[in-house]
């Protein structure tokens, strides 16, 4: 059965993976730095022949934050949001505390009274108690009354009504004669 990791374990695993990513990026950058001078020397004779691109300035580029400022700003906002959420959760918990049942040491410290602290709490407690499944009552089996067996009747299956077929005019039945029953090609005479 898997156990739920503790906060320290989660934080340690997160930090370890972050360190591995930083080490991989540093290795990649070092590889690029060592390979760049070799590649530049190969293309150096061609660089004088390439056309010069005009320098393009972005409007309000000087107003954009640096990457360090952007990260700091994002994390400051996240910290403020998290602090606000924590304050909200604590205030909500404080407001809901009177509706919660007393547990453990708090019950021992209290006056022992289980009277509701909030009007209407008793109604909720009774509704919860009534909604809990109750075990089925086990009773002694009653002796079966002895009676004569009832006769079993079997009924014939009833024919189901079918929709009437399209009626066609009836043909008159041809009368059969004894002559029509004799084989052809023989003389009766």
pLDDT at residue 85 in the model: 97
Rounded mean pLDDT of 79-107? 85
Give the pLDDT of residue 189. Answer: 46
CA distance 180 to 159: 39
pLDDT for 185 beyond 70: no
Average pLDDT of the chain is 75
Across the range 54-73, mean pLDDT stands at: 88
Identify which has the larger pLDDT, 153 or 93. Answer: 93
Token pair belonging to 155: 């009924």
Which of residues 72 and 168 earns the better pLDDT score?
Answer: 72
For 106, phi and psi rounded to 5 degrees?
-60, -35
For the chain, give the secondary structure using H, E and C. CCCCCCHHHHHHHHHHHHHHHHHHHHHHHHHHHHHHHHHHHHHHHHHCCCCCCCCCCCCCHHHCCCHHHHHHHHHHHHHHHHHHHHHHHHHHHHHHHHHCCCCHHHHHHCCCCCCCCCCCHHHHHHHHHHHCCCCCCCCCCCCCCCCCCCCCCCCCCCCCCCCCCCCCCCCCCCCCCHHHHCCCCCCCC
pLDDT digits (tens, 9 = 90+) for 11-29: 999 999 999 999 999 999 9
pLDDT value at position 139? 59
Which pLDDT score is estimated for 86? 96
* pTM across the whole model: 0.39
Query: How far is 185 from 68, CA to CA, in rounded Å?
Result: 119
Give me the pLDDT at residue 136, please.
62
Give pLDDT, residue 26.
96
Largest CA distance in the chain: 132
Mean pLDDT, residues 94-122: 65
């Amino acid at each position: 059965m898997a156990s739920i990791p503790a906060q320290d374990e989660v934080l340690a695993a997160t930090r370890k993976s972050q360190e591995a990513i930083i080490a991989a990026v540093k290795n990649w950058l070092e590889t690029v730095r060592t390979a760049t001078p070799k590649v530049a020397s190969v293309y150096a004779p061609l660089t004088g022949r390439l056309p010069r691109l005009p320098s393009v300035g972005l409007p309000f580029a000087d107003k954009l934050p640096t990457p360090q400022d952007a990260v700091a700003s994002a994390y400051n906002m996240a910290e403020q949001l998290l602090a606000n959420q924590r304050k909200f959760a604590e205030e909500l918990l404080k407001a809901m505390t009177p509706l919660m049942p007393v547990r453990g040491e708090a019950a021992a410290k209290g006056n022992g009274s289980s009277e509701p602290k909030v009007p209407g709490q008793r109604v909720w407690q009774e509704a919860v108690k009534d909604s809990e499944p109750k075990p089925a009552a086990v009773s002694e089996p009653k002796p079966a009354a002895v009676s004569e067996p009832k006769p079993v009747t079997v009924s014939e299956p009833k024919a189901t009504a079918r929709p009437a077929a399209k009626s066609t005019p009836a043909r008159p039945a041809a009368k059969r004669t004894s002559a029509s029953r004799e084989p052809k090609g023989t003389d009766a005479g």
